[in-house]
Structure 1
Amino acid sequence: MAGSNQTRVVISGIGVVSPIGIGIDAFWRNICSGKSGIDRLQTFPNGNLPSKLAAEVKDFQPEIHLYNKKFLKVMSRDIQLGVSAASDAVRNAGIKEGVVDPERFGVSFGAGHIPTTPDELVEAVKHCAEHDTFEITRWGEGVMGQITPLWMLRQLPNMPACHISIEHNAQGPNNTITSQDSSALLALSEAMRWIKRGAVDCMIVGACTSNINPVDLSRKNLIDLLSRDEDPKRACRPFDRDRDGTILGEGAAAFVVENYDHAVRRGAEIYAEVIGLGAGCDGRASSDNNHQNDTGLVRAIESAMRQANLNPGQLGHINAHGKSTKIDDQVEARAYHRLFGDDATKIPITALKSYFGHFDAGSGAVELAASILSLRHNATPATLNYETPDPLCNLNVVHGEARPLSIPTAMSVSRTAFGQSAAAILRAI
Structure 2
Amino acid sequence: MAAHKRTRVVVTGVGVVSPIGIGNDRFWQSLLTNRSGIDFLQSVPTEGLPSAFGAEVRDFNPVELLRDRKFVKVMCRGMQLGVASASLAVSDARISTGQMDPDRLGVVFGSGRMTCHPQELAAIVEACQTANGFSPDLWGREAVGKVAPLWLLRQLPNMPAGHVSIDHNARGPNNTITCRDASALLALSEAVRVIEAGRADAMIVGACSSNIHPVDIAKFHNFEGLSRRSDDPSRACRPFDFERDGTVVGEGAASFLVESYEHAVRRGADIYAEVLGTGAGCDGYGVANESAGVGLVRAMESAITAAGVTPADLGHINAQGKSTQTDDIVESRAYHRVFGDLALRIPVTALKSYIGHFDAGAGAVELAGTLLSLRHGYLPATLNYEFPDPRCRLNVARGEAQRLASRTAITVNRTAMGQSAAAVLRAI
Report TM bin, short chain.
over 0.9
Structure 1 residues 400, 132: closer, same or farther in 2, change over 3 A? Answer: farther
Q: Answer yes or no: is 1:175 the counterpart of 2:175.
A: yes
Which residue identity lines up with residue 261 of structure 2 in the other structure? Y
Which residue identity lines up with residue 311 of structure 2 in the other structure? P
The match for 2:189 is 189
Q: For residues 328-339 of structure 1, what are the structure 2 equivalents within 5 Å?
A: 328-339=327-338
Q: For residues 65-84 of structure 1, what are the structure 2 equivalents within 5 Å?
A: 65-84=65-84
Q: For residues 26-425 of structure 1, what are the structure 2 equivalents within 5 Å?
A: 26-131=26-131, 133-230=133-230, 231-284=232-285, 290=289, 293-425=292-424
Counterpart-to-counterpart distance in 1, 2:6 and 2:191: 15
Q: Using the TM superposition, give the Cα deviation of residue 410 of structure 1 relative to its aligned residue in structure 2, in angstroms.
A: 1.1
Q: What SS does the aligned partner of 1:121 have?
A: helix
Counterpart-to-counterpart distance in 2, 1:169 and 1:228: 45
The match for 2:427 is 428
Identity %: 60
Q: Deviations over 1:307-350 (max 9, x none)?
A: 11111111010000000000000000000111111111000000
Counterpart-to-counterpart distance in 2, 1:234 and 1:347: 24
Gaps of 5+ in 1: none
Q: Using the TM superposition, give the Cα deviation of residue 233 of structure 1 relative to its aligned residue in structure 2, in angstroms.
A: 1.9
- Aligned residues of 1:12 and 1:256 also touching (Cα < 8 A): yes
- Aligned residues of 1:117 and 1:214 also touching (Cα < 8 A): no
Q: Using the TM superposition, give the Cα deviation of residue 402 of structure 1 relative to its aligned residue in structure 2, in angstroms.
A: 0.7
Q: What SS does the aligned partner of 2:233 have?
A: coil
Q: Using the TM superposition, give the Cα deviation of residue 139 of structure 1 relative to its aligned residue in structure 2, in angstroms.
A: 2.3
- Aligned residues of 2:51 and 2:227 also touching (Cα < 8 A): yes
Which residue identity lines up with residue 108 of structure 1 in the other structure? V
Counterpart-to-counterpart distance in 1, 2:211 and 2:14: 23
Runs of 4+ in 1 over 6 A off after TM superposition: none
Q: Using the TM superposition, give the Cα deviation of residue 135 of structure 1 relative to its aligned residue in structure 2, in angstroms.
A: 2.3
Q: Using the TM superposition, give the Cα deviation of residue 47 of structure 1 relative to its aligned residue in structure 2, in angstroms.
A: 1.1
Counterpart-to-counterpart distance in 2, 1:427 and 1:5: 19
Q: Using the TM superposition, give the Cα deviation of residue 380 of structure 1 relative to its aligned residue in structure 2, in angstroms.
A: 0.7
Which residue identity lines up with residue 281 of structure 2 in the other structure? G
Higher mean alpha-carbon deviation, 40-49 vs 380-389, is at 40-49
Q: Using the TM superposition, give the Cα deviation of residue 291 of structure 1 relative to its aligned residue in structure 2, in angstroms.
A: 6.0
Which residue identity lines up with residue 255 of structure 1 in the other structure? F
Q: Using the TM superposition, give the Cα deviation of residue 147 of structure 1 relative to its aligned residue in structure 2, in angstroms.
A: 1.1
Counterpart-to-counterpart distance in 2, 1:124 and 1:352: 41
Q: Using the TM superposition, give the Cα deviation of residue 123 of structure 1 relative to its aligned residue in structure 2, in angstroms.
A: 1.2
- Aligned residues of 2:280 and 2:300 also touching (Cα < 8 A): yes
Counterpart-to-counterpart distance in 2, 1:251 and 1:132: 44
Counterpart-to-counterpart distance in 2, 1:320 and 1:190: 21
Structure 1 residues 232, 4: closer, same or farther in 2, change over 3 A? Answer: farther
- Aligned residues of 1:285 and 1:292 also touching (Cα < 8 A): no
Q: Using the TM superposition, give the Cα deviation of residue 138 of structure 1 relative to its aligned residue in structure 2, in angstroms.
A: 2.0
Structure 1 residues 282, 132: closer, same or farther in 2, change over 3 A? Answer: farther
Q: Using the TM superposition, give the Cα deviation of residue 51 of structure 1 relative to its aligned residue in structure 2, in angstroms.
A: 1.0
Structure 1 residues 309, 42: closer, same or farther in 2, change over 3 A? Answer: same
- What root-mean-square deviation, in Å, do the aligned CA atoms of Structure 1 and Structure 2 show? 1.5
- Aligned residues of 1:55 and 1:248 also touching (Cα < 8 A): yes
Structure 1 residues 60, 219: closer, same or farther in 2, change over 3 A? Answer: same
TM-score, normalised by the number of residues in structure 1: 0.97
Q: Using the TM superposition, give the Cα deviation of residue 196 of structure 1 relative to its aligned residue in structure 2, in angstroms.
A: 0.6
Q: Deviations over 1:280-317 (max 9, x none)?
A: 0111369xx84650100000000000011111111010
- Aligned residues of 2:12 and 2:270 also touching (Cα < 8 A): yes
Which residue identity lines up with residue 297 of structure 1 in the other structure? L
Q: Deviations over 1:129-169 (max 9, x none)?
A: 23583323322332011010100000000000000000000
- Aligned residues of 1:49 and 1:221 also touching (Cα < 8 A): no
- Aligned residues of 1:108 and 1:177 also touching (Cα < 8 A): yes
Counterpart-to-counterpart distance in 1, 2:291 and 2:180: 17
Q: What SS does the aligned partner of 1:94 have?
A: coil
Which residue identity lines up with residue 275 of structure 1 in the other structure? L
Which residue identity lines up with residue 64 of structure 1 in the other structure? E
Size of the aligned set, in residue pairs, is: 425
Q: Deviations over 1:374-425 (max 9, x none)?
A: 0111001100000000000000000011110010111110001111100011
Structure 1 residues 4, 310: closer, same or farther in 2, change over 3 A? Answer: farther
Which residue identity lines up with residue 52 of structure 1 in the other structure? A
Counterpart-to-counterpart distance in 1, 2:97 and 2:140: 46
Q: Using the TM superposition, give the Cα deviation of residue 197 of structure 1 relative to its aligned residue in structure 2, in angstroms.
A: 1.1
Q: What SS does the aligned partner of 2:63 have?
A: helix
Counterpart-to-counterpart distance in 2, 1:205 and 1:292: 33
